[in-house]
Amino acid sequence: MSFLKKLLVTAAFSAAMFVNAAYAENVKIALVVKSLGNGFFDAANKGAEEAAKELGDVDVIYTGPTKATAEAQIEVINSLIAQKVNAIAVSANDADALVPVLKKAMERGITVISWDSGVAKEGRQLHLNPSDTGLIGETIIKLAADYLPEGGDVAILSASSTATNQNAWIEAAKKVLPEKFPKIKLVATVYGDDDSAKSTDQAKGLLKSYPNLKAIIAPTTVGVVAAAQVVTDENLIGKVNVTGLALPSEFKKFIDNGASQAVALWNPIDLGYSAIYLAHDLAVKKDEAKPGATLSIGRVGKVTLDENNSAAMAPPFQFDKTNIEKFSKIY
């Protein structure tokens, strides 16, 4: 065998070895959440584990900081890079701050996607939204407006001030307000950082500063529970309606006691499942994330990427007295 031929054969052999090595072990996918201890993310992790079981070659690493900040998430991601995970699927506490560390991950061959709360385009291969952003923005206002035929003052209690998802929904909500809900007046937006204690303080502050408040809209599963608890404790049931995005299992008691008339959410289990499915197929099947590409999300269906390599899963469902019992047993 000529030297050149020998070299080529050796090269081909090592390439085959390399490919085999990638499949010999399970694909390690890190599901990085905004913060741990949040029931919404625990439900997403349940879906992630379902996807791993179905795909058969995935190990899910469920991780995140204790506080929902970008700095803490950067630390978590740096340690995942050091552990040489194969993919990172992150719900971001800040769209831009995570870009450098995620770029570093991609340069090292790690597949990176964002889901739930997005990363700027250059820091990830694709982003999976739970639903259409405009639709969520309109839904959270409508949930309040439906129970305020005369109109009135409402305030928003959000998650962190840098959360990509909540900021996009609030912007979309503000856009539809003047035309579609002219009698609803948004008097304030405050931030509880997806922290129970801080959200409780912020809800109390709103009630003090705005005595005519008719509704608190919390587009966060942590904030909405805190606000409903405050309204309950301050005997304001019937005066202030709490609404927004809530996990039925955590929120049922506030529909039951009347602190809230209705809330909405998508299926968090399906969202976590879909994130793992997409990350897996990009990492293993080398699916290409490019505008117009249609990608499988297993039992949930398919998504098509838009010009920003973003896609949306499904419309939100509404929960009220008629159906929250049933959903509270699922998530």
Chain residues binding ligand RAM by CB under 6 A are 34, 38, 40, 91, 116-117, 159, 163, 165, 194, 220-222, 245
As given in the structure block, the two tokens for residue 286 are 């080398």
As given in the structure block, the two tokens for residue 240 are 């202030």
Give backbone dihedrals phi and psi of 175, rounded to 5 degrees, phi first: -65, -40
Residues 208, 283: Cα–Cα separation, whole Å: 51
* Termini Cα distance of the chain: 64
CB of 237 to ligand RAM, least distance (A): 23
As given in the structure block, the two tokens for residue 288 are 């290409």
Closest C-alpha among 279, 238, 276 to residue 260: 238
Closest C-alpha among 300, 302, 268, 296 to residue 282: 296
CB of 158 to ligand RAM, least distance (A): 8
Residue 190 or 283 with smaller CB distance to ligand RAM: 190
CB of 40 to ligand RAM, least distance (A): 3
Residues 157, 195: Cα–Cα separation, whole Å: 12
Residue 254 or 284 with smaller CB distance to ligand RAM: 254
Residue 63 or 117 with smaller CB distance to ligand RAM: 117
Give backbone dihedrals phi and psi of 155, rounded to 5 degrees, phi first: -135, 155
Closest C-alpha among 180, 259, 250, 181 to residue 220: 250
* DSSP state letter for 83: T
Residue 266 or 277 with smaller CB distance to ligand RAM: 266
CB of 285 to ligand RAM, least distance (A): 28
Residue 86 or 129 with smaller CB distance to ligand RAM: 129
Residues 292, 55: Cα–Cα separation, whole Å: 25
The β-bridge partners of 48 are: none
CB of 217 to ligand RAM, least distance (A): 12
Residue 43 or 284 with smaller CB distance to ligand RAM: 43
Question: How long a stretch of residues is the chain?
Answer: 331
Residue 28 or 124 with smaller CB distance to ligand RAM: 124
| Closest residue to ligand RAM, based on beta-carbon distance | 40
